[in-house]
Structure 1
Amino acid sequence: MERFAWKAIIHEGKLEEYKKRHDTIWPEMKTVLKNAGISNYSIWNLGNEVFGYFECEKGVDFAEKYQTDSPIVDKWNAYMKDVMTMVLDPATGAQPKMQQVFYLE
């Protein structure tokens, strides 16, 4: 099981809207995430920064490619654009991977 972490910035005054949209995440978006092998997914915030963590049952490369190839993810990203800024990695088309610096099992 590979782990993946990402971060993004929420636009000023948009944190509650960001939370609301995730409280009502589209069923088809959940399906894409599950089909990408993503589990144990959580998002945390500190001020206007959000940090996401998930585990990839089929590997990070598979999860990135599956999401990048999904029109549902494209639609979700467009839907979220007015509340957050997330720069995507041009090499993968997915969120840039944060580098792990410590792990305690």
Structure 2
Amino acid sequence: MKNYAWVLEVRPGYEQEYKKRHDEIWPEMVKMLSEAGLRNYNIFRHGLTLFGYFETDDLKKSIEHIVKSEINKKWGEYMSDILKADIDPKTNFPYLLPIQMHLD
């Protein structure tokens, strides 16, 4: 299993709303992410910066499953008013960060 990370921004003043929406994440969204093969998925916030971390065995398959999902499209629309998303046009997924250090 490999690990991946992304960074997005929550719009100023929407920090608590972002947390609330994820506290109430739709069960069908959780199911879809699991079916996509994501494991150990966490999102951290520092100020307005959101740092997402996840693990998967097959990144390409996972991203394809997520971006083709109707529930992901609905979730994206639901979150669009409170996020500044930097999306990779090649994958329609947030840009993934290069690993700078790894320790087992």
TM-score, normalised by the number of residues in structure 1: 0.96
Count of residue pairs brought into register by the alignment:
104
Q: How does 1:38-77 map to 2 (within 5 A)?
A: 38-57=38-57, 59-77=58-76
Aligned to 2:80: 81
Distance 2:17 2:93 in 1: 22
Aligned to 2:97: 98
Distance 1:86 1:4 in 2: 17
The answer to whether the 8 Å contact 1:3/1:60 transfers is no
Moved over 2 A (4+): none
Gaps of 5+ in 2: none
Aligned to 1:37: 37
Q: How does 1:9-48 map to 2 (within 5 A)?
A: 9-48=9-48
Give the letter for the 1:82 counterpart: D
Gaps of 5+ in 1: none
TM-score, normalised by the number of residues in structure 2: 0.96
Give the % identical residues: 38
Give the letter for the 2:54 counterpart: F
Deviation at 1:32, TM superposition (A): 0.6
